Each structure stands twice: as C-alpha cells, then as structure tokens.
Amino acid sequence: MSASNWQIANGRVLTADGTIVEAELALSGSHIAGLGEGGGPALDAGGMLVLPGIVDLHGDAFERQMMPRPGVAFATDLALVDSDRQLAANGITTAFHAVTCSWETGLRSLANAGQIVDRVAELQPRLACDTRIHLRHEAYNLDGERPLVDWLGAGRVALVAFNDHTPAMLRRLGEPDRLARMAERTGLSVEDFTAQLVAVGARGGEIADSLVRIGAAARAAGVPLASHDDTSPAVRAGFRDIGARICEFPTNRETAAAAVAAGDTVAMGAPNVVRGGSHLNLVGAAELVAAGLCSVLMSDYYYPALLQAPFRLAGDGVLPFARAWDLVSAGPAAAAGLADRGRIAPGLRADLVLVDDRAPGLPRVVATVAGGRVVHAEGRLAAGGGFAAAA
C-alpha cells in the first residue's frame, strides 16, 4: 500500500479512551488522521479488530536466527531480515532487539554486539519494523563500558539494561555439566571457558563504579535504563539510584511491589502469561498484572506471545481487553519515552495491527501497518482484495 492518504473501513477500532467502536480510520502519510472517512482507497477490515501496533521492549528470539544450534552461525543480515518478517507477522511494529553484550566470546560477545548495533543501523531503511537496540550490558563486561558509552553518544542504543549473570555462573564452577552447556555458545572448550570465567570474576571490585558511569552516560543521552532479574527491593533500589527506572523480570512479588511504590515501571514476559507461569518457577506475570504490579509485557524469547497474552488475560478475567492491550502497546511506548505511538489517536504514528479474533483463544494477525505502510498481509489482503476505491 503506497497511497499517502487511505482508510481502514469496516473495522472494530480500539480507541485511545479504551472503547472499541465500529468506524473508519483515516490515515495520512505515516500518521493517523482520525476516526471517520478519509480520502484515498479503503481497506475493508471485514469486522476485524483494529489495534495499536505492538511495542516490544525486550525480544531476543532473533538470536535463534543467528545461531539456531550451538556453534551453527548464520550471517547477521540474514538473521535480522528474517526476524523482521517474524515481527511484522506477529503485529510488532516497534521492536527493541535485546542484544546481550557480555565478556563471553561467541554469540553474546562484545564484538558480536557491535556488529548487530552497526547492522541494525544500516538495515533500518529496509526493515518493516521500527527496530531499535536494547543493549543488555553484562555487569562484569568491563571492557564493554567504553564502546557502550560511545554507542549511546552516537544514538545507536535506545535502551540499556543492567544484567548480572556472572555471580550465578561462578557458583556453577563445581558443576561440569552446567559449565559445558554454558561453554557451548562461546565456542570455547570447557577448560578455556572456565579460565575466562574465573578471570572475569576476579574483577568484581570494579563493577559498581562502572555501572554508575554507564548510568550517567545513558541519562545524558536521554536513554531509559532497566535492571534485569532484580531479586529484592534492596537490589531494585540500588539500580534505581543510578537511574534505572524500569524493573524487568523481577523474581518475586515483593520486589515488583517495591518498584511500583517508588514509581518504577515493572515489565514481565508475555510467555509467562501465555504458558500460565514462569518456566523458572518464579513469580507469575498474570499474578502481578492482576495486582496492578506490572504495566508492560515483552516477548522475551517468543514473539507470538505478545499477541496472545492480552487475549489470555482478558479471557481469564484478569483485565478488560483494552487495559490488557495497553500492556503491549501504550505501556511499553510510555516506558521507552515514545510519545508518538502505542495508541490510536490523531497525529500519532500509523502503527496498527488487524486481528481476526473469531477463534476463541487463538487470535490471528491478518495485517500489520507500520508508519502508514502495510508491511504484512495475508489472505485476501495479501492479494489486494481488501482494497477498494473510496466512495
């Protein structure tokens, strides 16, 4: 669809005030003009839901396109382009690729993170989805501090999350099987990986000052900060002190409650909702949503979960559908400081998803619009049969 002015007709539109109305939705260029008939051709939505496009603050499923099996790597460009198709097909119009930047070699290395940062910037004009970098900085990756600060200064990173998996890895030193699994993705022998882990662990005294410097650089660049897997209110408070106001994947209700009480955003995984609980037997995302302790859902490792989760929450009576959809649209947009998207209202970006919700428990994306362009369509829409000249 290339016309600058067109409209979506015969759809059930989720408006910014949380109501669903049967109305035409007029688009002008890359933005929403408003409810009511507009100029140009019309897309017949056939009674489908017309929803704000999904904003995914943390998705790392693209890693499986880069390395579908341990040690089996594919070209970064191919992986990113194919991931973009998956995003569009799942109604995700703004994606933050959660790129882990660790001291490890291989898939999550500093070198690989730099390559992804560069390639996303180069490929962006060809991508359907507005794709950004969520840089997951491993705290013990002290050599990654300077590059991260440079990427922030250059506008290459849109969100920074502090990860601290190294202490848990150090506790596995006496478990050969676990070490072997960790070594697999690095391409190193177990012996070499173990030596690297021990050497990194010896620098623990340098971590706190490094995180403070990174936090200052992110704030100076206007980039939001998150902390990952917070285990207690005290841990959350420590990250809040250096500017991290997003608490992603808190491991228990107490920590989530402390975060919300302090005005922080709590973000959880949509797969947790869809599967009915955490795969690590931690706090359930639906439980936090029901208690008002979670305002953002993220794809984490499975893109399709973001579409399914709001319908699951509404179907289970946890939230009304409009509020459940906010968890994947308006909520994450606000957390990321993106005031131009996440809702259907005049002047905002025309990021939309048309959903067939006739099959209970299995909603399906039929079309995705990103920045006013149809970037995914199936069935009659893909064949152009859904478009007609405006009356």
Task: Give the DSSP letter string of 298-323.
Answer: E-BT-TTHHHHHHHHHHHTTSS-HHH
Amino acid 383: pLDDT = 56
Amino acid 385: pLDDT = 61
Distance of CA 120 to the CA centre of its chain: 15
Neighbours of 209 (CB within 10 A): 11
Please identify, in words, the CATH class of the domain defined by 54-335: alpha beta
Structure token digits, residue 350: 């025309």
Q: For residues 154 and 147, is the Cβ–Cβ distance under 8 A?
A: no
Amino acid 233: pLDDT = 98
β-pair partners for 44: 9
* Strands 387-388, 54-59: pairing kind: unpaired
Question: Using only C-alpha atoms, what is the Rg of the chain?
Answer: 21
**H helices within the chain, ranges in order?**
62-66, 76-89, 110-123, 145-153, 166-170, 176-184, 190-201, 207-221, 233-241, 253-261, 270-275, 285-290, 305-315, 321-326, 330-335, 379-382
Helix 76-89 crosses helix 110-123 at what angle (to 10 degrees)?
60
What is the rounded CA–CA span in Å between residue 202 and residue 194? 13
Question: What one-letter code names the amino acid at 10?
Answer: N
* The architecture CATH gives domain 5-52+344-388: Roll (2.30)
Question: What one-letter code names the amino acid at 380?
Answer: R
Amino acid 390: pLDDT = 40
β-pair partners for 227: 162, 247
Burial class (CB in 10 A: 0-12, 13-18, 19+), 256: buried
Burial class (CB in 10 A: 0-12, 13-18, 19+), 50: buried
What is the rounded CA–CA span in Å between residue 245 and residue 148? 19
What are the distances in angstroms from CA 309 to CA 9, 68, 115, 126, 372?
A: 26, 25, 32, 29, 25
Amino acid 3: pLDDT = 53
Q: Which residues, in sequence order, are CB contacts of 93 under 8 Å at separation 6+? A: 53, 54, 55, 129, 130, 341, 351, 352, 353, 368, 369, 370, 371, 375
**Regions in the chain scoring below 50 on pLDDT:** 1-2, 389-391
Amino acid 262: pLDDT = 98
Interior angle at CA 41, CA 338 and CA 130, nearest 5: 25
Amino acid 386: pLDDT = 66
The answer to whether domain 5-52+344-388 and domain 54-335 are alike in fold is no
Amino acid 174: pLDDT = 84
How much is the pTM? 0.94
Residues in the chain: 391
> Domain residue spans in the chain?
5-52+344-388, 54-335
Q: Which residues, in sequence order, are CB contacts of 168 under 8 Å at separation 6+? A: none
